[in-house]
Chains A and B, each alone.
Chain A
Amino acid sequence: MPDLLQVENLAKRFGGIVATDDLSIAIPEGQLHAVIGPNGAGKTTLIAQLSGQLTPDSGHIQFAGSDITALPMPARSALGLARSFQITSLFLDLSVLDNVALAVQAHAGHSFHFWRDARGQVELRDPARAALARVGLTARENLPASALSHGEHRQLELAMALASKPRMLLLDEPMAGLGPEESARMVAMLRELKKELTILLVEHDMEAVFALADRITVLVYGRVIASGKPEEIRNNAQVRDAYLGEQEAVHG
């Protein structure tokens, strides 16, 4: 069975800086694949290239059997590839429900409808409410998104990614800035989601990574230095030196 996401020899430079260096990853359907690495390793650049925000200099990306290397962002979303953002990128002046409803609307055909009130359409509002319920934000649905806490923003991010009923989620540091309680909630949520979606997870939070990942790829300076099952990675000396060592030092 072919992999859902196949990345081959991806490369990207910014001037003199190599952000992505001959990177190849294969992710089969149903897997939760974590990508870890020190800061500057090119993890966000990788997600940007996978989602279509950046165009790679060379290499190929295949999703669900089609070559999407040059496909623009909206088209990738239509194919079932959704992403969340590391830095909060929401519609802050719209309500929480409006935010998610927009994500639903994006996959509900074209939007050249000028007359009917969008906020009254159940075919948009119901799936939006369902996604909000999944992440536990139902109580906040009528507040402007700017009124939410940081942790709730991360939840909203997830809800929006889910609302488009994707086949695969690209999650860019969903735990960023979350306290212990919120992190635990997020991990539990992701564990549930794992059952129905394929997930590429970029994260720094090692506890979460080892709790969730089926496979882990380690990135340093844009290139893959190791890839395999979590126990293999944990025991890999090279990885420990490059990355996990400093993580343990930080977390004591």
Chain B
Amino acid sequence: MSGWLSARAVTVVVLLAALALLPVYVELGGSRFLLTLFTRIIILAMAAVSLNLILGFGGMMSFGHAVYLGIGGYAVGMLAHEGIYSGFVQWPVALAASALFALVIGALSLRTRGVYFIMLTLAFAQMAYYVVAGLARYGGDDGLTIYKRSQFFEPINLSNKTQFYYICLALLYASIYLVWRIVNSRFGMVIQGSRSNDTRMRAIGFPTFRYKLTCFVIAGVLCGLAGALLANHTDFVSPAMMYWTRSGDLIIMVVLGGMGSVVGPVFGAIALLVLEETLSGITEYWQIILGPLLLLVVLFARGGIDGLLRKVRYA
């Protein structure tokens, strides 16, 4: 077993500390753009952490997870459009809507396996996409601008970039901790067992469906929260948030970072988005590199970044 000073443990600690200190660096003269970029990375990392709960630990290959980003985001956006700016109303609505959707989608999809499950989750996400794109009142295809961020009591001000960054970071840390506790609990054992061998789980006495559904809902709610944050970050929501390729991006983050590890998705989100930034600086056709890179990761580095870190041993 790797001890406290394993390469992986050190990397995780350094990373989490660096994220916490980023705004300080920006205050001291670093580029303000970094703050914006990393706020986005943190929010998407949270979405990826939620996906990893069902994908990495639960073995449920959902290709429609981005739908919750959209649901959470549109809850905030629609309410703001109607003049309701209070975060105490918007955010619970975002979470409740995500929970409801996850409950329905999960109840219908979790009865199937493999590619059928993938297609059902994808189909439901596309349905939501088309419904929202058809709502002319809320911007339809063009999306909806949010003129005022979620309001809480003083002194919380989401328009303050540094404050918003720390709120997002705190929520990310909380999500990681929550997922870590869930995964190692009795509930988490059932989820992991179902991933490993669902038939055996049922043979030894677990009605696995209800546990998987619960897990699915938890992941949806967490992602819905990320969606609410994203809406505040971009001051804008559009149906594109839910398009199936966005779900693909989330899956890339999870796999790139390393599935089956709670922090893995954070590595993945950082890696993907930083890669996107740096590569697009080099060439506007950077996805020509990303595509084959993904292919190579799948073929040769399946454990992702986390897997590579676990292999590093001190001499």
Is the CB–CB distance between A118 and B205 below 8 Å?
A: no
Q: How far is the CB of B49 from chain A (nearest CB, A)?
A: 16
A131 within 8 A of B: no
Chain B interface mostly helix, strand, loop or mixed? helix
A98 within 8 A of B: yes
B134 within 8 A of A: no
Q: How far is the CB of B158 from chain A (nearest CB, A)?
A: 29
Q: Which residue of A lies closest to B197 (CB)?
A: A91
Chain A interface mostly helix, strand, loop or mixed? loop
Partner of A94, one of B193, B203, B205: B193
User: Which residues of the partner chain A approach B192 to less than 8 Å between Cβ atoms?
Assistant: 91, 94
| CB under 8 Å from chain B, chain A span 62-104 | 72-74, 77-78, 82-83, 85, 89-94, 98, 101-103
A113 within 8 A of B: yes
User: Using a Cβ–Cβ cut-off of 8 Å, how many residues does chain A contribute to the interface with B?
Assistant: 36
Partner of A114, one of B182, B199, B203, B204: B182
A101–B214 Cα distance when bound, in Å, is: 22
A232–B73 Cα distance when bound, in Å, is: 75
User: Using a Cβ–Cβ cut-off of 8 Å, how many residues does chain B contribute to the interface with A?
Assistant: 24
A164 within 8 A of B: yes
Stretch at the interface among B12-20, B117-125, B183-191, B248-256: B183-191
Is the CB–CB distance between B203 and A77 below 8 Å?
A: yes
B196 within 8 A of A: yes
User: A106-B206, A111-B211 known; A116 and B200 CB under 8 Å?
Assistant: no
Q: How far is the CB of B302 from chain A (nearest CB, A)?
A: 13
Is the CB–CB distance between A111 and B196 below 8 Å?
A: no
Is the CB–CB distance between A73 and B189 below 8 Å?
A: no
User: Which residues of the partner chain B approach A83 to less than 8 Å between Cβ atoms?
Assistant: 203
A107 within 8 A of B: yes
B202 within 8 A of A: yes
Partner of B203, one of A51, A112, A117, A119: A51
Is the CB–CB distance between A74 and B205 below 8 Å?
A: yes
User: Which residues of the partner chain B approach A111 to less than 8 Å between Cβ atoms?
Assistant: 186-187, 189-190, 206, 211
A229–B201 Cα distance when bound, in Å, is: 36
User: A112-B214, A114-B181 known; A90 and B200 CB under 8 Å?
Assistant: yes
Q: How far is the CB of B206 from chain A (nearest CB, A)?
A: 5
Is the CB–CB distance between B185 and A91 below 8 Å?
A: no
B207 within 8 A of A: yes
List, sorted by A's number, 7 A–B pairs whose CB atoms are closer than 8 Å: A73-B202, A73-B205, A101-B189, A112-B214, A117-B184, A164-B204, A164-B205
> Which residues of B does A touch, CB under 8 Å?
181-182, 184-190, 192-193, 196-197, 199-207, 211, 214
